[in-house]
Amino acid sequence: MTRILITAAAGCILTAGIGYLLLPVLRALKAGQSIREIGPTWHNGKAGTPMMGGLMFVFGTILCLVGNFPAMSDDSPFYVLALALCFGLIGFLDDFTKVKFHRNLGLTTLQKAMLQMAVSALFLYAMYRSGFMDTHLYIPFVNVSFRLHPIVYIFFAMFVMVGTDNAVNLTDGVDGLCASVTLPVMVFFTAAAAAMGKYDLALLPAALAGGLVAYLFYNWHPAKVFMGDTGSLFLGGVVCAMAFALEMPLILILVGFVYVCEAMSDILQVSYFKATHGKRLFKMAPIHHHFEMCGWKEEKIVLVFAGVTAAMCVLAWFGIAGLVS
């Protein structure tokens, strides 16, 4: 447990230091964010804010794991990190396209989805072949699990992983929101892994939790830097990979409740708009923009959404009591 706490502290310190060095570089490269015209008008003042700030906690997490490598006996954290890095690389390509061509849209939805599915399939195959994961599906609260056919499990897992990654990405629309919501999720996975005796696996979310604390000093409203798709897709990768590495993917419904709401609000908005020929279910989607349009300040949205996530993580802990007792 001491090593986990030290790793979290190291993640915070390293991310803070990397941010101090990286921010001037991003400004010099003019890696600024373009603002979508259909977004809230008051977001126009954010135009030019450096993005790709997610590199801060990406590198901080990598350094923490590398530093712990000599004392580690379990390779599973590196499988999780590999998936997250691949998702982060997809995000980096998206961000780079936006910066290079000075536009808000980078890779197409289809391009990102195809890349995410390919990466997810490789991760699942590697984890299964290495014996770090089987095809049992654990049901929270009732403490039962059942085995799915490997092919069925892979398609289910790919759907969940790609959906989770994109849902986390949608959450990154208000200063500090994605990092603040993901922080309690990382604390949950750290505690769950440690309680299950998977101490090496607990190091990754611990390092990232510390990194997110430091990152929020740069990203709290008014943000000095945005994480970009580089950061949000990396975070989504860690969230879904940890759930599968701990063999509790259904727990994402609880710990990722805000992510689910963000994604569902977007899907419902588009579906309702098409079905009613132009009417809207929400003032704006994803749902954090709806609350903005209702007059909520960004800080209030962040605190409420993070608080809801923390409460759902506590509830999820009771849901996995059979695994951690």
The tens-digit pLDDT sequence of the chain (325 residues) is: 889 999 999 999 999 999 999 999 988 887 666 655 555 655 666 777 898 999 999 999 999 999 998 888 888 899 999 999 999 999 999 988 887 776 667 788 899 999 999 999 999 888 888 877 788 899 999 988 889 988 899 999 999 999 999 999 999 999 999 999 999 999 999 999 999 999 999 999 999 999 999 999 999 999 999 999 999 999 999 999 999 999 999 999 999 999 999 999 999 999 999 999 889 999 999 999 999 999 999 999 999 999 999 999 999 999 998 887 6
Q: In what helix (H) or strand (E) does residue 281 lie, and over which residues does it extend?
A: none
End-to-end Cα spacing for the chain: 17
Residue 296 vs residues 154, 170, 173, 293, 308: alpha-carbon distances, Å: 41, 18, 14, 7, 16
> Residue 145 phi/psi, 5° resolution?
-145, 155
> What span, in angstroms and rounded, lies between the C-alpha atoms of 176 and 213?
10
So what's the pLDDT on residue 32? 63
Q: In sequence order, what are the beta bridge partners of 147?
A: 136
> What span, in angstroms and rounded, lies between the C-alpha atoms of 27 and 251?
39
Q: List the structure tokens of 270.
A: 């588009």
Q: Residue ranges of the domains in the chain?
A: 2-324
So what's the pLDDT on residue 325? 66
Q: For residue 145, with 0-12 CB atoms within 10 Å meaning exposed, 13-18 middle and 19 or more buried, which class applies?
A: middle
So what's the pLDDT on residue 93? 93
Residue 314 vs residues 63, 173, 206, 303: alpha-carbon distances, Å: 29, 25, 17, 16
So what's the pLDDT on residue 167? 97
Q: For residue 125, with 0-12 CB atoms within 10 Å meaning exposed, 13-18 middle and 19 or more buried, which class applies?
A: exposed
> What span, in angstroms and rounded, lies between the C-alpha atoms of 17 and 308?
30
> Residue 295 phi/psi, 5° resolution?
105, 5
